Amino acid sequence: MLEFAGIEPNPDYATLMKAVQIVRDEKVDFLLAVGGGSVIDGTKFIALAAAFDQGGEAWDIIKTDAARELSQAVPFGTVLTIPGTGSEMNYNLVISRRETGEKLSIKHEAIFPRFSALDPQVSYSLSAKQIRNGLIDAFMHVMEQYITYPIGAVVQDRLSESLMQSLVEIAPRAMRMDHPITPPARISCGQRRWDSTPWWVVAYHKTGRPT
């Protein structure tokens, strides 16, 4: 078993390519992403890039139509440690290339996780900063779909509103977490994990495609 650490928030292409080289050199046949949305998105890119043999650089997977030539990727699973993005249940990724100032995304069916482990109790140990980040991240992912596609999807809009209202309701309780954690805070923190995932379902039904 090999470990690759150091994937940063908004994962950087240069960092990920170091992992891609390890996967290729060691002939790794399965990846496990343990972390939040950035780690999972980074792992999705690693899985695609390690299988990319079309010539050129792996960045072409995102910047051009090179991904269409890929029919498979290195299989992977996820263990979610912080809720917020929903990346554990979709086939979308976003990565940055800091040397050129680019931040791009791609969707590819080959990068849907084989499994995702989501244990709400893991989030009990998060710092106040990470709890706040997760709450805001989940809220904004719902909000961006809610305001970006005004197509009269009434049911999906009401679902978005209920998710955002739920996050607003539980956020103060989650942020008041003490150590040892009190039962109400445990409920809030656990519920927040499940609030971070349904936004993807809303996006799918409003846009006609996963995001």
Tens-digit pLDDT profile for residues 46-65: 999 998 887 778 998 888 87
Least Cα distance to 200 among 151, 147, 150, 156 occurs for 156
Residue 92 sits in the same domain as residue 170: no
Determine what percent of the chain is predicted with pLDDT higher than 70. 82
Residues 21 and 114 grouped into a single domain: yes
The sign of the torsion formed by the CA atoms of 20, 79, 132, 181 equals: negative
pLDDT in tens, 21-44: 999 999 999 999 999 899 999 999
Max mean pLDDT among 74-78, 142-146, 169-173 falls in 74-78
* Per-residue confidence (pLDDT) for residue 42, from 0 to 100: 97
Q: What is the largest CA-CA distance in the chain?
A: 55
pLDDT, tens only, 68-93? 777 889 999 999 888 777 888 888 99
Question: In this structure, is residue 2 part of a structural domain?
Answer: no
Given 54, 88, 118, which residue is the final one in a domain? 118
pTM beyond 0.75: the answer is yes
- Helix 154-175 and helix 198-207: axis angle, to 10°? 160
Q: How many domains does one find in the chain?
A: 2
3-state secondary structure of 97: strand
Is residue 117 within a helix (H) or strand (E), and if so which, with residue range? strand 116-118
Supply the range of the domain harboring residue 47.
13-118
Radius of gyration of the chain (CA): 18
